[in-house]
Structure 1
Amino acid sequence: MLRASITKNRILCGTSSTTRLSGTALRHVRLYSNDDISNPSSLAKSSNLPKIEQQLLKKPARQPKKKSPFLSSHAIENDPNYKMNSFLQSFGQSLIKIFNIDMDKSRAGPIAGSKYYGECKKQALYYPNEPLSESAKFYYETLNLPQSFSQWFQITALHYWILSVRMRALPFKYYRAYQQKLVDRFFRDMELRMSEEMGISSNRIIEGYLKEFNTQLLGSVLSYDEGLMTDDITLAAALWRNIFNGNPNADMRHIEALLGHVRQQLYVLNKMSDRQFGFGDFKFVEPNEVVKPLTKAQEVELRAAVKRNYENMDLPSQRSVLSLNE
């Protein structure tokens, strides 16, 4: 029954794309946010199984005591409308041109270490007495997962892995740069959150937590990779162990819904060119969304539209050797 159920979900949700590939894709892909096709959130809510709370801790999980800036207090990162003055822009463009700087490698920091990490971080981010985002509601309310720092880490690690799958398809030196920037920022941010938000003052305790989280990250990536290379049952088992904490009372429909949600992200990334991904043109599909798969003709038209978007990028800072075809 589990195999049949998951296979069905893969057809409905796993072979889907998203309009966020590019603005030009909007006319190619129909976005579903209702029950035309069961989206992961609706699929999980359709379960009639009783909720059985899992007692993982003997005492309540430590909760954030304060809220720090989402990424940092740096103006460039914290203000989406920040714009460098014209003199600094011209000076920077000149330096790039004179020294022939590899912008694809330089772009790894602001794209992977900032934008893509922000995408991962916000999926399950929560603060006491603040409303949850739609994605956070999916995990904490729909899937009935506990609100804790370790649970946030596991969900963030899952999204890190999803991005890392696409990064591996980049040319090797760029894959390593993007992956390293993303994982470095992940652990640096956890360190700051534990000290600033969770109120842990001991560096020794924080270091111990970071080592444990690093071990968990390596284990989860290995298990997800095994599922990616084998079948949905293996990937579902990895999600059950890591995201659902191996809960023997976990709702099978919830695991099925999360599996479909993950497969959606992987499909979207698979349809993106290296150039699009390297420039940060990706956002995770929301759990309450499903998109209709692209036809071959639509894929060809989408590629052409994307090329038109990038063909006018002729500034030194916009240079790239990443492919627009794959």
Structure 2
Amino acid sequence: MLLRLVTRLAGDQTFCFASRGLKQIKPNVHVPSLLERTGYSLGLGKLRYPSSRLRSAGENMFAVCAEYPVFEEFVDRLNLPDTFQSWFSITSLHVWLCLVRLRKEGTEGQLLKKTFVNIFWLDLKSRMRTFKVLKGHHRQITAFRDQFFGAMFAYDEGFLSHSDPHMVAALWRNLFLSSTCTTAGQLELALEYCRKNLKHLDAIPSQTILGYGTPTFIPLTGEKIDERVLFPAPKLL
């Protein structure tokens, strides 16, 4: 079934995943060492923003990824089950979209990324307790970690290869969880969502990304940001 859907999308020239106007940054940027991070936290080295502010921005960015997307819209439009797993898959996709954007920001982007991803796992454990996902807790955390890193690799492969079939396959496996009920229209909608938001995030200024950690996302359907759910920008320190 997936092969038929991918073939259909690949034959449609209107669905070229990587926008021509979007510069692709390969994920081979310098990752600060522990010694370097310690130096930055002590005020040593030149950063555009202090490390404390980058940590706050990382916390904000995860809150945006976890709460900004309208979960019910993804469930309804993409026919996803209304489960904790779906929330995790949707949030992971938005984390990846932001990680792609952070590659443009050099050392500061890598420092923000560390907090951004670490907060994900702290929040996940808290939500699992809230949703009473307690049975086999440690095994499930390990399973979620495997899912997350597998999804990041698959999405990167689709993005960096300029390949609709690769990206569609990644979305089908990681967002739709290989559901045989997935339609071509739902895959097209998810593909277009990624494409327009990568372009949108690419245009957001560094101050918003690094200084505040408050990106926005274009809705699943439509091209206009819903201002009713915008996160207020914190005041400059």
The question of a shared fold, defined as TM-score above 0.5 by the shorter chain, is answered with yes
Q: Equivalent pairs: percent with the same residue?
A: 24
Equivalent position to 1:265, from 190, 197, 216: 197
Asked if 1:187 is matched to 2:187, the reply is no
Counterpart Cα distance in 2 of 1:178 and 1:222 = 20
Report deviation, 1:10.
Answer: 5.0
Equivalent position to 1:278, from 191, 206, 210: 210
Partner of 1:241: 173
- Gapped regions of structure 2 (runs ≥ 5): 1-7, 23-42, 225-234
Counterpart Cα distance in 2 of 1:210 and 1:265 = 28
Rg comparison, structure with higher value:
1
Structure number with higher helix proportion: 2
Structure 2 letter corresponding to 1:244: F
Counterpart Cα distance in 2 of 1:277 and 1:175 = 9
- Gapped regions of structure 1 (runs ≥ 5): 18-98, 125-134, 292-312, 318-326
Structure 2 letter corresponding to 1:160: V
Secondary structure in 1 matching 2:81: coil
Kindly provide the CA deviation profile for residues 101-156 of structure 1, in whole angstroms up to 9, marking residues without a partner as x.
9534222222121x2111111256xxxxxxxxxx3232111111101111111111
User: Structure 1 140/14 Cα, relative in aligned 2: closer, same or farther at 3 Å?
Assistant: farther
Tell me the TM-score normalised to structure 2 length.
Answer: 0.73
Q: Is the 8 A contact 1:9 1:257 kept in 2?
A: no
User: Structure 1 144/285 Cα, relative in aligned 2: closer, same or farther at 3 Å?
Assistant: same
Partner of 1:120: 65
How many aligned residue pairs are there?
197
Q: Is the 8 A contact 1:140 1:146 kept in 2?
A: yes
Partner of 2:14: 8
Q: Is the 8 A contact 2:9 2:15 kept in 1?
A: no
User: Structure 1 10/260 Cα, relative in aligned 2: closer, same or farther at 3 Å?
Assistant: farther
Counterpart Cα distance in 2 of 1:199 and 1:219 = 25
Structure 1 letter corresponding to 2:121: F
Partner of 1:166: 101
In the TM superposition, what are the counterparts of 1:1-326 in structure 2 within 5 Å?
A: 1-5=8-12, 7-9=13-15, 103-113=49-59, 115-123=60-68, 135-172=70-107, 174-195=108-129, 197-200=130-133, 205-230=136-161, 231-279=163-211, 280-290=213-223, 317=237
Q: Which has the higher contact order (CA 8 A, sep 6+)?
A: 1
RMSD across aligned positions (CA): 2.9
Counterpart Cα distance in 2 of 1:15 and 1:141 = 31
Q: Is the 8 A contact 1:112 1:182 kept in 2?
A: yes
Report deviation, 1:14.
Answer: 6.0
User: Structure 1 8/137 Cα, relative in aligned 2: closer, same or farther at 3 Å?
Assistant: farther
Q: Is the 8 A contact 1:16 1:290 kept in 2?
A: no
Tell me the TM-score normalised to structure 1 length.
Answer: 0.54
Counterpart Cα distance in 2 of 1:237 and 1:191 = 28
Counterpart Cα distance in 2 of 1:201 and 1:275 = 40
